[in-house]
Amino acid sequence: MIIATAGHVDHGKTTLIRALTGIDPTRYAEARERGMTIDIGFASMVARAPGERAIALVDVPGHERFIRNMICGIGGIDAALLVIAADDGPMPQTIEHLQMLDLLGIDRGIIALTRIDRCDEAQRLRARAAIQALPPVALISNAPVIEVCAVDGRGIDTLRDCLHSLSRSRPRRMLDQRFRLAVDRSFTITGIGLVVTGAVFSGQVNKGDTVHALHSAKPARVRDIQIQHQRSESAQAGERCALNLSASSLTPERIARGEWVVSSLASPVSRRLHVRMRCTDDVNPRLFHRSRQSLRLHLGSCEAGARLSLISGEPQPFSGAPEESRTAASSQAGLLVQLLLDRPLGAVWGDRFILRDPAAQKTLGGGVVIDANPIARLPGGVTREQWLAHLERPDFVNALCGAAALMPHGIDLDAFCDNRNFEREVALSHLRDADLVMIEAETRIQIFSTSVWKVMTRELTARLAQWHIAQPESAGMPLGRLFRPLFKSLSMRLIERIIDRLVVEGAVEHSPVGPRLPDHSPRFGEADEAEWRLIEAALNSAGIRSPSVLDIARQLKLPRFRVLEFMTRAARLGRVIPVNQSRFFLPEALALCERQARHLALAGQGMLTAAALRDATGLGRNLCIELLEYFDRQGLTRREGDVHQWVGCESTSEFPC
C-alpha cells in the first residue's frame, strides 16, 4: 500500500515519518539546511504479519512553490496521511492539498494532529473543531483524528496501528492488467547500472521480464527489483519499487520523471484525452473552453501543457460528497472534457489527474481518464456523450457491450483492451459468457453486439435482395460492392470472415462471384431472355459445330463485343460453356463432343490427335484443336507433343465411358 502525507508547510510531515519509521525521507542537503521538504521523499513501514506487504510512505512538500512535486507524489497513492499542526490548525495549503486528494478520488486516510506538545487542551479542541469545519470531502468524513507528538512519541504507536489497519483493509488492485510504473526518479549506480523508482499503477513485473520506456519506445530487461530496500522477485500494483534495468540505449535523462515503464508498447500514447473532470468551487470551466491559454496537466508523474474543450455537462463544484469508489466518484459528477496536450502522453482508462492554471498558481479541477486515444469520427447518430457514457463504466464487459451496441461496424478488441490496459487473453476470459459476436481475421478480432449483428445481417441481405433484382443473371454480389458503402473501415479479410459466419448461420451462401441469398437462382431478365432465344437457336442449328462469337454476331447482325458480353453472362448462368474466349458451346453439344472423343481415344489405346478427331466427327481442324486444348485445361487429356493422352487410359484397354 502507498500512503502519502499531505498538509501545510512546516506542520511536521517529515518529522512524523521519521518518528514512524526511523527513516529520514529527506534526500537533498538543501532541504535539510532549509528545514523544508522541496521534493518527494520515501520511507517504509515493515509488515507485521506473514503475508502482509510493507507500507510505502511518500513525503511530499507542503510549500506552494513545490506544488508540482507534491502532485507527483500523490499520483499513484492508495490513501493519505493528512498532517495538521495543533497549534496552527488547517492552513491554506491544507485546503489545497485536501482539494487535490478529493479530485483524485482519495477517500481513505488518517488525520494526524501534530505538535500537541506546543499547545494546551483548549487549542487542541479548537484545532479539532477547525478540522470538522473543513470542506466535507470523503477523506474528512471517513478519517480518524489521531493526536501525536513526534518529539516525545505520544500517539505514535496508535498512529502506526491505524496505518497497518488501513493497509489491511485496502481494496485489492487488479493484477491482471498490464504492468505500468510511473517513474519519479532515475539514476545510475557504479557497478549496477541504471535504476528507476516509482509507483506501480497496475499489473506485475518479475525479474528477467522485458519492459519498455513508453515515450521513447526503448526496451529493457529487469535485472533486479527492490521493494522498501529489500530485494524481491516481483513487484505488483500498489507498491513502490526500484528496478535495475539493463538497456544500453537508456540513460537517466531519457527515462526521467514523467516516463512510464510498461510491459507492452501497445499502451496508448496520445495528445488527446477524453476525461470526466470536476472543478473546484470558484472555477468556471467555460472561461477556459477552447481558450489558447495553456494549463498544466498532472497525471501520474507526468506533466504536460493542455488546452481544455468542453464536451458536455454542467459544472460540479468542489463538494466532497462521499462516493463508493474513486472511479464511481469521477463518473457520477462533473464535466465531459477533451484535453489537447502539447506533447504525446501515456495514459489509460481510469488514470487520475489534476489540472492547474500555472499563471494563477491555482488548482482548477481533476478527474479520471475515460478515453486515452479517442476515435476522430463516430458513426452518424451517435453523440460523443453517448459513446463516453458507455466507456466510463467500471465493468469491462458492460463497457464493451454498451460501446459495441453503438458501432455498426463493430469494435476492434485490441484497441479497446489497450485503452483499458488489458491483454487480449485476459479480455477474452472476461468475455467468455458475454452476449457478443466475435469475428477473428488473422491477428485482429472485431466485436459486434448481438443487436448490431442482427441489424447488419438485415442490411446485407436487403442489399443482396436488391442486387438479385437488378442483376438476376448474377450468381452473387461482389464483396467490395456489398460492403464498401456500409463498412469502409473493415479489411477485406475481415469481411470474408463475416461472410463465413453468415454462411454458417444460413443467412447467405457462397458463390464463385460473391455471396448470394440461399433462395436465389440466377436467371436472365425478360429482355435478355428474348435475346438468348435467338442465340440459342443459332447454336442449336449448328449442333456440335458451335459457331464462334464473330459468326453469331454476323448471323444476328449484332456488334461482336455485345455478343461476347452476353455470352459471358450466359456462361455465368450455366447456359453455355466457354471453350475459349471466342467460342461457346451448349452443354449438351459439348457433352456429345466429349463422348465422341472418349470413344475415339478408346479405339486408339488412349491416344488422340486433332486429325483423328476431325476425321471421326467431321469438324474443322481448328475447332478440333480448340476442343482438345479445352480438354487439356479440364484435366481430361494430357498433351504429349502432337498427341493427347486421355487421362486414366494409359494402362488398360477398358476405358470408362
As a whole number, mean pLDDT of residues 330-356 equals 86
Residue-level pLDDT at 202 = 92
Q: Of the CATH numbers 3.90.1010.10, 3.30.70.20, 2.40.30.10, 2.40.110.10, which one belongs to the domain with range 180-262?
A: 2.40.30.10
- The set of residues, in sequence order, having a beta carbon less than 8 Å from that of 163 and lying 6+ positions away, is 3, 20, 45, 55, 81, 110
The pLDDT, as a whole number, for residue 173 is 61
Nearest-angstrom CA–CA distance, 336 and 384: 9
pLDDT at 273 over 60: yes
The count of other CB atoms within 10 Å of the CB of residue 300 is 27
What proportion of the chain, given as a percentage, has pLDDT over 70? 90
Whether CATH 2.170.130.10 fits 588-646 = no
**Longest Cα–Cα distance in the chain:** 130
Determine the average pLDDT of the residues in 20-41: 65
DSSP secondary structure code for residue 289 in this structure: B
CA distance 351 to 370: 8
92-112 mean pLDDT: 89
Would you place residue 296 in the very low, low, confident or very high pLDDT band (cuts 50, 70, 90)? Answer: very high
Instruction: Specify the length of the chain in residues.
Output: 657
Contact criterion met (CB below 8 Å) for 326 and 106: yes
pLDDT, residue 572, reads 77
Question: What is the rounded distance in angstroms from the CA atom of residue 44 to the CA atom of residue 57?
Answer: 5
pLDDT, position 324: 37
Per-residue pLDDT at 428 exceeds 90: yes
Domains 2-168 and 444-523 agree in fold: no
Inform me whether the pLDDT recorded for 74 exceeds 90.
no
Evaluate if residue 393 carries a pLDDT over 50: yes
Q: Which residue has the higher pLDDT, 443 or 209?
A: 209
Q: Which residues partner with 496 through β-bridges?
A: none
Write the class of the CATH domain 2-168. alpha beta
Residue 446 pLDDT > 80, yes or no?
Answer: yes
User: Which string of DSSP letters, residue by residue, matches 404-441?
Assistant: HTT-TT-EEHHHHHHHHTB-HHHHHHHTTTSSEEEEEE
526-585 in CATH: which number? Answer: 1.10.10.10
Higher local confidence (pLDDT), 398 or 73: 398
d(CA 74, CA 86): 24
Strand, coil or helix: 477: coil
Q: For residues 419 and 409, is the Cβ–Cβ distance under 8 A?
A: no
Across the range 582-592, mean pLDDT stands at 92
Examine the pLDDT at 281 and tell me if it is beyond 90. no
pLDDT at 447 over 80: yes
Q: Could you tell me the end-to-end alpha-carbon distance of the chain, in angstroms, rounded to an integer?
A: 85
Confidence label for 331 from pLDDT (cuts 50, 70 and 90):
very low
pLDDT in tens, 120-166: 999 999 999 999 999 888 888 889 999 999 989 999 999 999 998 88
Q: How confident is the model at residue 321 (pLDDT cuts 50, 70, 90)?
A: very low
User: Which class in CATH covers the domain with range 444-523?
Assistant: mainly alpha
- Paired strand residues for 262: 180, 212
User: Tens of pLDDT along 227-264?
Assistant: 988 899 999 998 899 999 998 888 888 899 999 999 99
Average pLDDT over the chain reads 86
For a pLDDT cut of 90, what percent of the chain falls above it? 52
State the average pLDDT over residues 307-334: 53
Q: What is d(CA 605, CA 594) in angstroms, rounded to the nearest whole number? A: 16
Name the pLDDT band for 75 (thresholds 50, 70, 90): confident
Domain ranges of the chain: 2-168, 180-262, 444-523, 526-585, 588-646
User: 10-14, 421-425, 437-441: lowest mean pLDDT where?
Assistant: 10-14
Across the range 278-284, mean pLDDT stands at 87
Average pLDDT over residues 303-317: 77
More confident residue, 654 or 74: 74
* Residue 209: closest CA among 229, 185, 193, 232: 232
For 460-499, the pLDDT digits (tens) are 999 999 998 888 878 888 887 888 766 667 788 888 899 9
Picking from 121-125, 173-177, 323-327, 449-453, which range would have the lowest pLDDT averaged per residue?
Answer: 323-327
